[in-house]
Amino acid sequence: MSSASSVSQDSNGHQYRSLRNNVSLLGSMLGETMAKSHGEEFLASVEKIRLLSKSGSTGDDSSWEQLETLLAGLETEQLGLVARAFAQFLNLANIAEQHHGLSREMDAVNSASRTLSGVMDLLTEKGLEPAAIEQSVADLSIELVLTAHPTEITRRSLIHKYEEIQRCLGQLESPGLTNYERNRMDRRLRELIAQLWHTHEFRESRPSPVDEARWGFAVVENSLWQAVPDFLRRLDDALLAATGKRLPMDAAPVQFSSWMGGDRDGNPFVTAKVTREVLLLGRWQAAALYLKTVDRLVQELSMIECNDALRELVGDTREPYRRAMKDLRARLRKWLTAVEDLLDGRPAETSDLIRDVEELSRPLLLCYESLCECGMERIAEGTLLDLLRQVRCFGINLVRLDIRQHSDRHSAALSEITEFLGLGRYTDWDERQRREWIQQELESKRPLIPQHWSPSEETQEVLDCCSVVVEQPAGALACYIISMARQASDVMAVRLLLKAAGGGDSLPIAPLFETLDDLDRAPQVITDLLAVEGALGRLPEQQMVMIGYSDSAKDAGILAAAWAQYRAQEALLDVCTQAGVRLQLFHGRGGTIGRGGAPAHDALLSQPPGSLECGLRVTEQGEMIRTKLGMTGLAVKTLALYTSAILEARAAHPPRPKAHWRDTMNRLGESSCDAYRAVVRDDPRFLTYFREATPEGELGALPLASRPTSRKKDGGIEALRAIPWIFSWTQNRLMLPSWLGAGAALAKELEEQGDEVISEMFREWPFFATRMQMLEMVYSKTDARLSAHYDGKLVNPELRGIGEQLRGQLSNDVGTVLSVLGQELLLEKLDWTRESLELRNIYTVPLNVLQAELLARLRRNADDDTRQAIMISIAGVAAGMRNTG
C-alpha cells in the first residue's frame, strides 16, 4: 500500500520526519503483504481508491463520484478485502503516531519527568514553599477504574501484534544498530504485518465477564506492573529536585480498581459466582507477579552485612537477604497453591492464604532498611524498592473490585422480604416509610432474612452478591455503586442488605447520579442520607458520590449535562462541608466527548474548586485502557499527566463562576436541553431515522463485550446504552450526541444577549473554555457529506429531511463556535491534530462509503459475508476516529 505520498507535509519540518518515515515503512510492508496474498491488481485497486479519496477530500466532486461508483461496483468479497486494507493501514498509522508521541517526547529526557518537573516549577512560581509542595504530593490520590464497557473492538491477539510492532519501531531508532540488527528488525516487522493480514479481526464469540477480567489483569501484568515503579521514580526525582525531600516509602499516590466481574447493572452474566472467581483470579495473578520478582531478588541479594532487625528475622545465616527472600518465596508459593485450590473448587489451607499486605511488605521493608543502614543504598533502591512500591499499589488483590447494581434490584429484593413478613410491598411505600423502616431494621438485633423463605432467583442473586462482598478481606473491594440512585433509601437499602449478609459496614456505598433530574436532585439525596447516618451514629468521614457523564448527556445533550454535572458537584461539596464530611467524587467518564471524555489536563483544570481535595477517581473504559495504559511508556505518560494536572489544579484554584456567568449557563443549559430533546425525544420519526441512518442494529452482531447493548428489548433511545448510542453516530460521521443542542443554544444567547459575557467566560473560566474546545474537536471529526451519503443509501426518502435539517444545524453550529473561539478554521491553533485527522481521513472515508454500501446490501439480503465485511468496516472507522463509544 503506497503511503509515503499520503502523509501530509507539515510546517514543523524535521520534527515529524520520523513519523512520516514510519508510516511510509509500515504502509509499504502492508502493501507488499496484500500484493503477495491477492495480487498486484488488488493492490493497484486499493491505491486507486486511496487517491480518489485524497482528491475528494480537497473538494474534487468528480473524484468523490468516482469513489462512490467504484466501491458500489465491487463484489461483497472485494469490499471486505478493501475494508481490511484500509482498516489495517489506519491501525498501523495509529501505532506509528503513538510511538512517535512517546519516542519524540521521551527521547533523552523522559516526558513524564519533564512534565512532573515542569509542574513543580509552576508550583514554585505560584509561591508554594517546598513544604507545601511536599504536602501536595503526599496528598495525591489517583485511582483509575478499569471498566469492561464494550468499546474495545480489537482482539487481544491483534493487540499483542500491535504492541510488538511498536517495540520494533523503537528498536529501529536505537543508535548504533548494525546492518544485521536492522535487517532482523525489518524482517520481524514484515512477519508481524503478514500475521496481522492473515488473522481474523474479531473474536468468534462474546467474551464472558471472567474473560474480560483476565484481559484487565493482562493490562496490569504487561504494562501497569512496571509503569507504577517507573512513574514513582520520576515523581520521586521531581520532588527531590523541587524540595530536597523524597517520596515516603509507603507512598501510594496511584491505585487501580476494576468493574470487570463486579459490574452487574444490566449484565445478567455477572453473578456472585463470577465475582468470587474474579476476585480469586486477581489474587492468583498478584501472587504470580510477586513470585516472579522475588525469584529475581533471591538471585540478586547475595550481600552478607545486615542490621540487627533483619538478623532477628532470618536468624544466623551467611546471606541474610537471600534467606529472607527465600522464605518470602516459599510463602508466596503456598499462597499461589491455596488460591489455585479455591479456583478449582478444592478446599484450601486457610493458613496459606495471605490476607494482609503487611505480610508481604514487612520482610521487603526490613531488607530495604538494612541495606540502607549498611551503606548499600544503591542496591536497596533497585528492584527491591520497585517491589515495595508495587506492593503498596497493587496489594494482595492486584486491583480492587467495584460492585455495581441497579437500585431497582435492591428495592425488589426488599419488597419480597416485606411481603413475606406481611408488611406490604416496600416498592409501594413512600420515601419516608422506606427510610424509617430501614433505620429500624439497621438498629434491630434480629435477622432481616426470614426462615423458611424461598426468594426469587433474582433476589437470591442479590443476596448471594452481598454474601460475597462481606466475606472478602480488607482492601479487596473499593466500593458498592448504586446505578440510578434517586433517593437516600436507595443507599440505605444496600447497607441493610449487607448487614443481613453479615457485615459490609466499612465498605463505601456510592450513589450514581446519571440523568439530568438525578443530578439536580443529588444534593438533597445526600443531605437526607447524611441526616439518617447521623441519626444512626455512623456518619462517615468520607462520602463517595459517582457522577455519570454518559447517560446525562444522552438524556439532555452535552452542554446541559456538563452544566448539571458542574452544579451538582458544587452543591454536593457544600452539603458535605456543612455536615463535616469529606466528599470523594467518582467521575464515570467515557473515552469520547459525548460520554464526558476530554484531555486529562483540560478536564481536571475545569473542575469546580475543591472537587479534587479527596483525589481523583475516574473510569478508564474500553479502547481508552489500551490507548492510555496499554504499554508501559504510555501508562507512565498518562499517570504523569494526571498527576501534573491535579497538582496544578489544586494550586491554580480555578475561579468560582461569577453570578452573570451562572445566569448565562443556566440559560444555555435550558435552551440546549430543549433543542436536543426537540429532536431526540419529541420527533416521533427520529428513532426510525436513527436506526436507518446508522449501523446501530448491526452493532449488536459485534462480539464486543459480555454486556447486552440495550437495557431492555424493543426499547427506545432511553433504553439504549450510552455506548452504542455514541458508537452509531461516530460511524456515520454525524457525531450527533456530542454537539446537538450546544451550538443552537450559543447562537440564541449571542443573538439575544450579545457576545460580551460569552467572550469573558471563554477567556476567564476554564470550564466554559474547555467545553468550547471540546466542541471544536467534535466538529473536526464530523463529515456532512458522508452523513448525507448514508442517508441516500439507507434512509427512506420521507425521513431524509431529518438528516438535512441536522446537517444544516451542524453547519450553523460550527460557525457559532468558531466565532466564540475567535477562529476562521477548526483546529486553527492545533496544527498537528489537524494534520493527523486529515491524514487518517483519507483512509477512513472509503471505509465509510463502503460501509454504507454494505449496510444497504445487508438490509436487502442478509448474508454472512456482508455481515463480516460490515464488522471490518466498523472496526476500521473506529480506528480512523481513534475511538468508538
Task: Quickly count: other Cβ atoms within 10 Å of residue 13's Cβ.
Answer: 8
Query: What's the Cα-to-Cα distance from 614 to each of 130, 541, 576, 598, rounded to whole Å?
Result: 21, 11, 12, 21
C-alpha cell at 449: 432474612
Q: Please name which of 743, 686, 695 lies closest in space to residue 884, comparing C-alpha atoms.
A: 695
Cα–Cα distance measured from residue 622 to residue 88, given in angstroms and rounded to the nearest whole number = 19
Compute the radius of gyration of the chain from its Cα atoms.
28
Instruction: Determine the length of the chain.
Output: 885
Indicate the SS3 state at residue 367.
helix
List phi, psi (to 5°) of 360. -80, -45
C-alpha cell at 564: 448539571
C-alpha cell at 43: 493492490
Cα–Cα distance measured from residue 247 to residue 707, given in angstroms and rounded to the nearest whole number = 41
Cα–Cα distance measured from residue 590 to residue 596, given in angstroms and rounded to the nearest whole number = 6
512, burial (CB in 10 Å: exposed 0-12, middle 13-18, buried 19+): buried
What's the first-to-final CA gap in the chain, in angstroms?
29
Task: Quickly count: other Cβ atoms within 10 Å of residue 52's Cβ.
Answer: 25
C-alpha cell at 32: 507488499
Cα–Cα distance measured from residue 68 to residue 55, given in angstroms and rounded to the nearest whole number = 13
Cα–Cα distance measured from residue 741 to residue 844, given in angstroms and rounded to the nearest whole number = 27
List phi, psi (to 5°) of 824. -95, -25
275: amino acid identity, one letter: T
Cα 35 from chain centroid? 38
Cα–Cα distance measured from residue 649 to residue 612, given in angstroms and rounded to the nearest whole number = 8
Cα 717 from chain centroid? 23
Type and span of the H or E element at 616: strand 616-621
For the stretch 797-804, contacts whose Cβ atoms lie closer than 8 Å and that sit 24 or more positions apart, written own/partner, are 799/685, 799/688, 799/689, 799/692, 802/679, 802/683, 802/685, 802/686, 802/689, 803/689, 803/693, 803/734
C-alpha cell at 590: 467515557
Task: Quickly count: other Cβ atoms within 10 Å of residue 809's Cβ.
Answer: 19
839: amino acid identity, one letter: L
Residue 21 neighbours by CB under 8 Å, 6+ apart: none
Q: Is 658 a catalytic residue?
A: no
User: Helix, strand, coil proportions of the chain in percent (round to 5)?
Assistant: 65, 5, 25
Q: Assess contact for 847 and 877: CB atoms under 8 A.
A: yes
Burial 28-49 (b: 16+ CB within 10 A, else e): bbbbebbbeebeeebbebbbeb
Q: Assess contact for 478 and 469: CB atoms under 8 A.
A: no
Q: Which of 54, 161, 326, 554 is catalytic?
A: 554
Q: Assess contact for 206 and 100: CB atoms under 8 A.
A: no
Q: Is 54 a catalytic residue?
A: no
What angle (nearest 5°) sits at the alpha carbon of residue 835, between those of residues 156 and 12? 115
583 DSSP β-pair partners? 543
Task: Quickly count: other Cβ atoms within 10 Å of residue 179's Cβ.
Answer: 7
Whose grid coordinates read 502523509? Answer: 7
Cα–Cα distance measured from residue 175 to residue 332, given in angstroms and rounded to the nearest whole number = 41
Q: Which of 149, 410, 789, 793 is catalytic?
A: 149
Catalytic residues: 149, 554
